[in-house]
Structure 1
Amino acid sequence: MPLTNNDRKLYADLDRAKTRREHGLFMAEGTKCVLDTIGHFEVRSLCATDKWLAIHGHEIPHQVEIITVKRNELERMSHLSTAPEVVAIYRIPQYTIDTEMLSPGITLLLDRVQDPGNLGTIIRIADWYGVRQIICSPDTTDVWGPKVVQSTMGAISRVKCHYTPLPDFISEHRGIPVYGTFLDGDNIYSCRLTETAMIVMGNEGQGISPEVEQAVSRRLLIPSYPPGAPTSESLNVGMATAITLSEFRRNLLE
């Protein structure tokens, strides 16, 4: 089945959140990203070159519709600086929050995280540390954007992101400790952390919003080293997430 001009235009426009919402579609690009996600989402179509199919065609489920395309067609659809030899178009899944995973367990809350690369990295970090769902504020960047999907390195297949107002979500689940990182918090390395927790990570430039900060019950500090020495103003939100989750998991092993 050939690729139509309408489909080509639609796929090229999937870098726009409005288009993704209207059509309920998102794109995965490149061999690793496609092979890591192909069995986890409903496929609308898979576009690949003859060269790619000769090498990897046997790894694609038989029921998947495959469209053979030229490299220049992929260049017109791709959102990467160098076009790959395969892209998969998936239908966006409809998730519901699994409340049974909240306790016991760690739930990551993202407050207005804007950079797609940061969100993708955080999803990848969450996957590494066994966090299976992330609650995002409505103004956090869209998880189904091409840059986010690409930077998750396949973790988007295992970590589910939900969008809802964080103050309301926290209020609905009172009794679970809510942690956040601040410059005036308690040293994370000397705190006794709980097995069940909500961990809030804030906006890249402004941190945790005042509305969400009011709901934080335990303020943490990731200290610089050595104490008092001049350092960078702050940590990247992805780096801060990795340090925080690592420390929570380390506490469970003690």
Structure 2
Amino acid sequence: MVNIFPNPSKFNDHENTNKIVLVIFIKITKVIVKEELKSNLINKKLNIINWFDCHYTNIGKKDFWSDVLIVEFKDKFELAKFYKDDVSKINLQAVQVFNLLPKNSPRFFVNFLKLFRPIGYFFELIKSSKSELHNFSNSKSNILPTREQAERLLNEKSNKKAYMINLLELKEMAQYKDKSISITGREAYVEKYGSQAFKSVILLGGDFAFNGRIIGNSLIEYNVPSDTKGKWQALAIAEYTKACKMLELEKIPGYSKGLVHREAGLKRNYNLYATKNI
């Protein structure tokens, strides 16, 4: 048995009165156990921002996690109550918990970009209806799907909105073929690639459900796979009208040119395909 809530003593004194946002990765193999946990958390009036059902891994070695929760506590003292109650006295196969500092984009900016979606739909219609699978390989890339993972995503039949949950680790300094470029991995990935990717997702009919900076190391690690071990720097959850849209971003002008910055700045990416539970 493992408590899914971290010991409040892990938080610094200056955080006592601040809101605490956690992202909790869980592996549950039995539906009845999952429903019991969900019922416990709802009855305790936990502020669940999002609960995602995870289906499979798009970037990473294997399918593992079954659920991802984002929860919020008013302060360290509210977290202490849940920690003491230990509502998770059920059979969980694995748990990993991160402390997040939300970095969501202003909604007025997102809504402004949505006005231009007809342009995105136009490019979606005039360009090839399927992603080029030769762009993916069976190489051990830390930032791309394998060919088999891409094919599975392209063939996904669900009509539910798709949520791509990303854990991101950036390089300290970006690595370009042009050695004269000297910028940080964050500048390359977030400022150069990220701004273009953000616009492309919106123009394809998508959105961003949640973005946040991960503070420090994992607060809890229990039976965690190698895929998600280590120090991550950010969580980004993109929303698409359907799963295959993640592989169609190159239909939007400008996106392809930004890929060089993703390659230069991103050290490691773990990506899960999920749908919404709460």
- Tell me if both proteins adopt one fold, taking TM over 0.5 as the criterion: no
Q: Which has the larger radius of gyration?
A: 1
Task: Answer 1 or 2: which has greater strand percent.
Answer: 2
| TM-score, normalised via structure 2 length | 0.21
Higher RCO, Cα 8 Å, sep 6+: 2
| TM-score, normalised via structure 1 length | 0.23
